[in-house]
Structure 1
Amino acid sequence: MRNSRKISASAAAVAALAIGLTACGTSSDPSSKPEGAKADTSKPLVVAASPVPHADILNYVKTHLAAKAGLKLQVKEFTDYVLPDRATQTGQVDANFFQHKPYLDDYNKKNHSDLVPVVSVHLEPLGLYSKKDKDLKSVKSGQTVAVPNDTTNEGRALKLLADNGLITLKSGVGSEAKLSDIKDSKGLKFKELEAATLPRALGSVDAAVINGNYAIDAKLKPAKDALVLEKAAGNPYANLLVVKKGSEKDPRVEKLAKLLNSPQVKKYIDDKYQGAVIPAFGAVKS
C-alpha cells in the first residue's frame, strides 16, 4: 500500500505503542489477555480510532452511555490507516473503529490477518474538493487531481470521478479500479498521496478526493464544500467496529456494539455532523 519508508515508520510506531501500553499496564497485553467470552470484563476495552468522527463518537459513548451499560472504555487515537489494524491483530488494543469492509478485506488478504467486523456504524461520503474550482464543470484537462494511495480508497475515488464524468474506466472496472484502469483520463493528471495528507495537499493540486473523516478533521464541510459526494444508497463503505477473530463474544465488545447502534448515537451523529456523517447501523454482510 505504501513505500518501504512509510512501512518502516509505521512498524516503529507500533513498537513504540507496544512499549507505552506495557508501561501503563493496559488490559491489552497480548501475552496475558484472554479472548472472547472469557475476557476480564472488569478491565477497560481499549479501542483504536481515527480522531474524527470515530474517536468523537466513541468518546460520546464513553461519557454518556458506557457507565450505565457497565462498560469501561478507553479510546486511543491514530492518524493513519495501518497502525490500528496492526495493533488489533497483535493484541495491543482490543478493537478498532476507523475502516470500511472493502479496506478490511484487503488488509486481511495482504497481511494474512484474521480481523473481523462486529457491527456497522456510519458512512462518511467520499468527496471531491478544490480550492480553485467551484463546480465540476470547472475541472478540466491539464489539472492535477490527488487521490488516496491505499488500494480500496483509490478505487473508490476513481469510481467517484468516473460516475461523475471526469474520467472513463475500462469496461467492467468498478470500485477496485487502479490508475492503470483509466481508459480515458480526459487530460487529467493524478497524484497518489496518503489519505491523511490529502486535505493539506489541496493548496498544491487542483482538486483532491478526500475521505470524509479527514475532510471533517480539516474543517471542511462535505455537504457544502465538496464539488460532489458519494451517494449513500447502496454504499458498501460503512465504517465498522472491528476485532481480532475470537473476540466477537467478549461481553465488552458486545456492549460497545449495542451502544454504537443506539438511538442516542444516531441522534448524536445527526446533530453533530449534519449529513457529513450518516448513521448506517446493523450487522455486516460477509
Structure 2
Amino acid sequence: MKKLLSFAILTVLLLTAVGCSKDNETIKIGVSGTDNRIWDFVAKKAEKEGLDIEIVSFSDYVQPNLALAQKELDANAFQTISYFEAFINEHNLDLTPIATTVIAPMGLYSEKYENVEDIPEGGKIAVPNEATNMGRAFLLLQDAGLITLPEDFDGNGSLDKIVENPKNLEIVPVVAGQTPRVLPDVAASIINNGIAVDAGFNPTEDSIFHEDDTATPYINIIAVRTEDKNREDLQKLAQLYQEDDVKEFIEKEYKGSTIPTFVPLSEIGVDTEAE
C-alpha cells in the first residue's frame, strides 16, 4: 500500500512539473537599448497565456542578430526591415520576420540651431556609419532639402552617393551609439530613435527634422530563425504584440515618437507564401 501511495505521489509530482514547464515557456527576446516599456507591457499579457518573456538588452545593432542566429535568443525586435535584409545578406544568416511592430522616426538634432535652414555653409553633420542607417540618414537629409541623392539610390549610404550638396556640408560618419555624444562638436547629428530616447530626447519634439509614418522601409519587425517561424509560442507572441491594447499603450506612452504599425509583412516586401 505504501509503495502504491508513493508511486501515486511521485506521478502527481511529475505531472505537475511537466504541466508547469509547458505552461511557462520562456522566450528570450533581444532588443537594443534600455527602453523596454512596450515589451514589458507585452510580457504581462504573455504571462497570462503561459509565456514567460525574458528581455535581453544589447548596446548595438549587430549582436542581437548574431545572438539570434547562434540560438542564444528565440527572437529579436529592434530593427527595420531595410536593416534586417541588408544584415542577413551580408552575414549569410537564416533569419525571417514574423510580424511588424512600429516605426521609430529617425531625427536630425542640433544643440546650436533650431531650424534646418539655419545650418551654415560647411557645417558638420554626423550620421550613423553603418550603410543602411547612413542611407536612411541621407534620405532624411534629402527630405530636409540639404542634399540630393541619385534617382536610383539603393538605400545604402556612402559619401560618394551624394549628388548635390549646396551648402558643402561635411558629412561625418560615426558609430550609431555615439551620435548623441558628438552633438557639441557638430552643427547637427542624425540619431536613431532608440538611441535618441536613451539619450533623453523625444524624437518628435526635440529634433529639428524627423521622418513621418510613411517611411515603409523603416518599419520595425520581430525576427526569428527561419526554422522557428511557425513555432506556436512565437506566433502567439506576435499576435499578442499586434492587439489593440498594445497599439493604444504605444500611442499613449510615446505620444507620436514611436508609431504602432501593424501592417502585413507582404506590405513591406516580405514573401509570406511559405509561411
TM-score under structure 1 length normalisation: 0.82
Match of 2:199 in 1: 218
Question: Is 2:73 the counterpart of 1:93?
Answer: yes
Which one of 180, 194, 199 corresponds to residue 199 of structure 1? 180
| 1:139 shift after superposition | 1.0
Question: Is 2:115 the counterpart of 1:115?
Answer: no
Which one of 164, 171, 190 corresponds to residue 209 of structure 1? 190
Q: Identity of paired residues, percent?
A: 32
Aligned residues: 246
Query: In the TM superposition, what whole-angstrom CA distance separates every residue of 1:31-50 from its partner, at most 9, and x where no partner exists?
Result: xxxxxxxxx77430011112
8 Å Cα contact 1:41-1:252 kept in structure 2: no
| 1:124 shift after superposition | 0.5
In structure 1, how many angstroms separate the alpha carbons of the residues matched to 2:154 and 2:177? 23
Match of 1:262 in 2: 243
Match of 1:66 in 2: 46
In structure 2, how many angstroms separate the alpha carbons of the residues matched to 1:52 and 1:265? 19
1:85 counterpart SS class: helix
Match of 1:188 in 2: 169
Matching residue's letter, 2:93: S
- Superposition pairs of residues 116-131 of structure 1, within 5 angstroms: 116-131=96-111
| 1:248 shift after superposition | 1.2
8 Å Cα contact 1:118-1:283 kept in structure 2: no
Matching residue's letter, 1:246: E
| 1:179 shift after superposition | 1.3
Which one of 241, 244, 259 corresponds to residue 225 of structure 2? 244
In structure 2, how many angstroms separate the alpha carbons of the residues matched to 1:43 and 1:263? 24
Query: CA 1:235–1:52 in structure 2 vs 1: closer, same or farther (change >3 Å)?
Result: farther
In structure 1, how many angstroms separate the alpha carbons of the residues matched to 2:23 and 2:84? 26
1:200 counterpart SS class: coil
Match of 1:51 in 2: 33
In structure 1, how many angstroms separate the alpha carbons of the residues matched to 2:34 and 2:244? 20
In structure 1, how many angstroms separate the alpha carbons of the residues matched to 2:228 and 2:179? 34
Unaligned runs of at least 5 residues, structure 1: 1-39
Query: CA 1:180–1:41 in structure 2 vs 1: closer, same or farther (change >3 Å)?
Result: farther
TM-score under structure 2 length normalisation: 0.85
In structure 2, how many angstroms separate the alpha carbons of the residues matched to 1:75 and 1:195? 22
